[in-house]
Amino acid sequence: MSNPLFYAEPGALAPVAPGRTAVLSGAEARHAAQVMRLVPGERVDVADGSGRRVSGSVVSAAADRLEVSAESVTDEPAPVPELVLVQALAKGDRDLLAVQTATELGIDAVHPWQAERSIVRWRGEKAAKALAKWDAALLSAAKQARRTRVPRTHQMLDGGAVASVCGPGSLVLVLHEDATLSLGEALGEALGESRGAADAAGPVERIVLVVGPEGGISPAEVEALTAAGGRLVLLGRNVLRSSTAGPAAVAVLQQLLGRFGPRT
């Protein structure tokens, strides 16, 4: 069974090496001591959210401080290509469910998208609160999945501005039920092209999945995305909910990229 994982403040693990002590404070220390009731000797992992993992044993656990004796320290590199999910806003917190599940499956960043046909709208203070809610959800899901890296939440995209995710180094895959090219075929073509000596576009640095709202992506948004280089792709025969399509596509990509397998 994997060790429970806790997040330290950014930069707090930089000086930690095997034999030294990692210290947690605040909410994470309280959760470890009061909720999980950890005691000296129990094994835990501590991460900084940016790839560093410290594995060791609890030395002391108090309400506001957890000390862990570091036995190993590893720096996990960021995956290449990066996986980015553009998730259209959806009612009933289905958008939130989508990004949570995608985080557990390994997404690296998310863009909320207020599509033309999104029923939910973010305006004013509501937008700030909603973004904070997404940040909290990503952190919780990353912790559940024992991830050393916490996905980033980018600012919301609006309507046809979603095409801004296209650009050099980006393979933009737009999930669309009218597509004729499968997700796997699009990935194979793109990676094959990026490895070719004559490829002027350069290597694929990030794969961006675009998921529309319940009412679908509007023709104007489709035109904007394809004009900027996005590819319409089909995930399968069934039409999935907005909350299901993104995570399902992430799982397929992770398998095709060879990232699903035993921990190393």
Q: What is the pLDDT, as a whole number, of residue 126?
A: 87
* pLDDT, mean of residues 92-115: 96
Are the C-beta atoms of 14 and 23 separated by less than 8 Å? no
- The residues, any chain, with a CB within 8 Å of residue 194's CB and separated by 6 or more, are 201, 202, 203, 204
Query: Please, how many CA atoms are within 13 Å of residue 163, restricted to the half-sphere of its CB?
Result: 15
Of all residues in the chain, the percent with pLDDT exceeding 90 is: 77
In angstroms, rounded to a whole number, what is the distance separating the alpha carbons of residues 181 and 233?
5
* pLDDT, mean of residues 157-185: 95
Q: What is the pLDDT, as a whole number, of residue 2?
A: 87
pTM of the model: 0.90
State the DSSP code for 93: G
* pLDDT, mean of residues 38-44: 94
Q: What is the pLDDT, as a whole number, of residue 197?
A: 39
* pLDDT, mean of residues 154-162: 94
Res. 111: pLDDT tops 70: yes
Q: Which residue has the tokens 């996005």?
A: 230
* pLDDT, mean of residues 34-47: 93
Res. 196: pLDDT tops 70: no
The number of beta carbons lying within 10 Å of the beta carbon of residue 135 is 15
Res. 33: pLDDT tops 70: yes
Query: 65-75 and 21-25 as β-strands: parallel, antiparallel, unpaired?
Result: antiparallel
Q: Which residue has the tokens 């390994």?
A: 106
Q: Which residue has the tokens 């033309």?
A: 116
Q: What is the pLDDT, as a whole number, of residue 200?
A: 44
Three-state DSSP state, 233: strand
Res. 198: pLDDT tops 70: no
pLDDT confidence tier of residue 71, bands split at 50, 70 and 90: very high
